[in-house]
Amino acid sequence: MKWYNNPIVNPFYRDERDEAPEVIAKTAPTDEKSSPTTKEGNVQTAVAQDPEKGSAPQFISESVEDLNNSDFQFGIKKVEAIATIWSKKELYLLYAWIWLMYCILSLQSQSSFSLFPYAYSSFNGHSLISTSAVVASIVGGVLRLPIGKVIDIWGRAEGFVIFAIIFLIGLVMLAATDGVATYAAAYVFNQVGFTGISYIMAVFVADTTRLRNRGLMFAYTSSPYIMTTFLAPKLAQAWLDHSTWRWGFGVFCIILPVVFAPFVALLFVKQNQAMKTGLLRKEKSGRTLVQSLKHYAIEFDAVGMLILMAGFVLFLLPFNLAGSLPESWRRSDIISMIVVGFVLLVFFPVYERYWAPKSFIPWRLLRDRTIFGGCLTIGSLFFGFYCWDLYFSSFLQVVFNLDVTQAGYVGNIYSIGSTFWAIVVGYLIRRTNRYKWIGVLFVPVHILGAGLMIHFRQPWQSIGFVIMCQIFIAFAGGSLVICHEIAGLAVGTHADIAMILALLYLAAAIGGAMGSSVSGAIWQNTFPELLFKALPAELKGEVANIVYSLPTQLSYPPGSPGRDAIVYAYGVAQQRMCIAATAMASVTLVGVWMWRDIRLDNKKQVKGTVL
């Protein structure tokens, strides 16, 4: 059976490094020395126990000297110092407050989902939804890499403050702008801030949890979506009925600073305590302003970041813009954007390997098949999701005649189901200390749900079948999202947590951007053309108004010739979007198959008082 004993044929193949107990690293791993090193004289000791009996090495806390002399960057030392000095009670209270923060953030995010089509429609820009989503997804995804550097070098609290300010500025701009171009820019600004906050909070959860419990805690912090899924659509409907969509953004400009303040305050207070007790010592750099700018430009790999961001924007945007331009695929500007973007993407790894003074993507992480497989998994999942989700709310309102609240309920079934099921998956991971078996089990469920959408997301089908497909995809998504994060984090040390999550989230952003581009291209090249053909002669002059405005689409009564033409065009467009999503599901299977099946209770990444 030697032919079966390899990771290509057997998805549950395990080598010695997947099973062996591992001690917490004292130094940040390098590409030359990937194995953790220990310091002579370290007071940390391990009590060896049998890992197959469900126990793992237990450790005594590090000394002050070990923390200050470790090779970790200062931001990582800060969070380890905080975990060393706070009490279990303070940790529990902090996680309770984090849950409240996620409640408010999810309420804002989900209510905005229902308001965005009306906001764009007020500027006659309904079809710009996918364009803005592509830009926001790319910029937000690529920025996570330098954000990871910021919070590793400066600290989690400092990075959170920066992106909380960006997020709030974006909300103010969304509430106040009067033009579609400015609104689209505000949307991108807002989403960059939101993704930054979400990313930093995810890193903080990973900083303060053991690996075997991490999936359960990720699910815990996402659990508010179960509640806010019901509240957010009603809130959006209330704003539309009794006020304007602008207040849907403006009210959170007041609430969120109050919610963020205690979280940030506690982190800064604990950091100051660690400095006063000598647990942390910050050495002065002695650099001038110019030297500091040069230093951080190298640390953040500013050139590499610009190459990567420009490459993705130039490569993906033309697919979305092509449908709105005459003879788009014969235009030199469209072709040149794609070619230049592709060249930049190919050039990026070459630059990182040979010319970058300091790469922000360690090659030892990129070479690991588990991380690469995790990126394929989440990238393909997000590609499929954004293929069929961008115009889903509008589809439900136009085709099935649902109001904003009802469409919000159906559209958020994925959030409810995946969040609920993620808690179950997190518990199963904690009990079994394995994650890959769950991923392998639920990939077929994901493919089934995506395939059924092709047939059931049609005007003549019952809304019940649409909901059934959403449930299948929700359970599969809840399983695969948690498992791919745990798989990626299991291969690194504490020094790698921020960068591993940044890589996985970048893959999600790229997949989402590609899905948005494909969805936008299908919409632009399908909906207007089919609508024009299906409309009666007296309404053909209204095509532009119908395409770019959801309220105009809803103004035609159900069963009227105009509404029937709109419904028909929506059905064909959605079918093609679902076909594209299903085709990408095969990549999800390949990605999950590549994961290593690492035993989690043998991995020790974080120290101090953690969950």
What is the per-residue pLDDT across 41-100, written as a single tens digit (0 to 9) for each? 333 333 333 333 333 333 334 445 555 555 667 778 888 888 888 888 888 999 999 999
What is the per-residue pLDDT across 234-280, written as a single tens digit (0 to 9) for each? 888 788 787 777 888 888 888 999 999 999 998 888 888 888 887 76
Distance CA 361, CA 541 (A): 53
- Asked if residue 28 is part of any domain, the answer here is no
- Residue 213 shares a structural domain with residue 313: no
- Asked if residue 542 is part of any domain, the answer here is yes
Q: Could you give the maximum distance between any two Cα atoms of the chain, in Å?
A: 87
Structural domain boundaries enclosing 110: 84-300+360-602
- Residue 389 shares a structural domain with residue 479: yes
Query: Are the C-beta atoms of 369 and 590 separated by less than 8 Å?
Result: no
- Asked if residue 168 is part of any domain, the answer here is yes
- Residue 444 shares a structural domain with residue 501: yes
> Which residue has 């120290």 as its token pair?
607
DSSP-derived pairing of the beta strands 58-59 and 46-47: antiparallel
Domain boundary among 359, 383, 406: 359
- Residue 351 shares a structural domain with residue 369: no
- Asked if residue 38 is part of any domain, the answer here is no
For residue 171, the domain's CATH number is 1.20.1250.20
- Residue 292 shares a structural domain with residue 311: no
- Total domains in the fold of the chain: 2
292 burial level (CB within 10 Å; 0-12, 13-18, 19+): exposed
- Asked if residue 14 is part of any domain, the answer here is no
Domain boundary among 319, 340, 359: 359
Distance CA 446, CA 103 (A): 27
- Residue 253 shares a structural domain with residue 325: no
Phi, psi angle pair for 47, to nearest 5°: -105, 105
Share of the chain above pLDDT 90, in %: 14
What is the per-residue pLDDT across 544-601, written as a single tens digit (0 to 9) for each? 888 877 888 888 888 888 888 888 988 888 889 999 989 998 899 999 998 888 888 8
Alpha-carbon dihedral sign for residues 140, 142, 148, 150: negative
- Asked if residue 45 is part of any domain, the answer here is no
- Residue 133 shares a structural domain with residue 222: yes
462-471 long-range Cβ contacts below 8 angstroms, 24+ apart: 463/400, 463/402, 463/410, 466/396, 466/400, 466/410, 467/410, 467/413, 470/410, 470/413, 470/414, 470/417, 471/413, 471/417
Q: Which residues pair with 59 in a beta bridge?
A: 46
If one counts every other C-beta atom within 10 angstroms of the C-beta of residue 378, the result is 27
- Residue 264 shares a structural domain with residue 208: yes
Query: Are the C-beta atoms of 121 and 232 separated by less than 8 Å?
Result: no
In this prediction, residue 132 has a pLDDT band, given cuts at 50, 70 and 90, of low
- Residue 415 shares a structural domain with residue 515: yes
Domain boundary among 359, 374, 401: 359
- Residue 385 shares a structural domain with residue 514: yes
- Residue 367 shares a structural domain with residue 389: yes
- Residue 159 shares a structural domain with residue 100: yes
- Asked if residue 40 is part of any domain, the answer here is no
Q: Please tell me the least confidently modeled range out of 10-24, 41-55, 428-442, 526-540.
A: 41-55
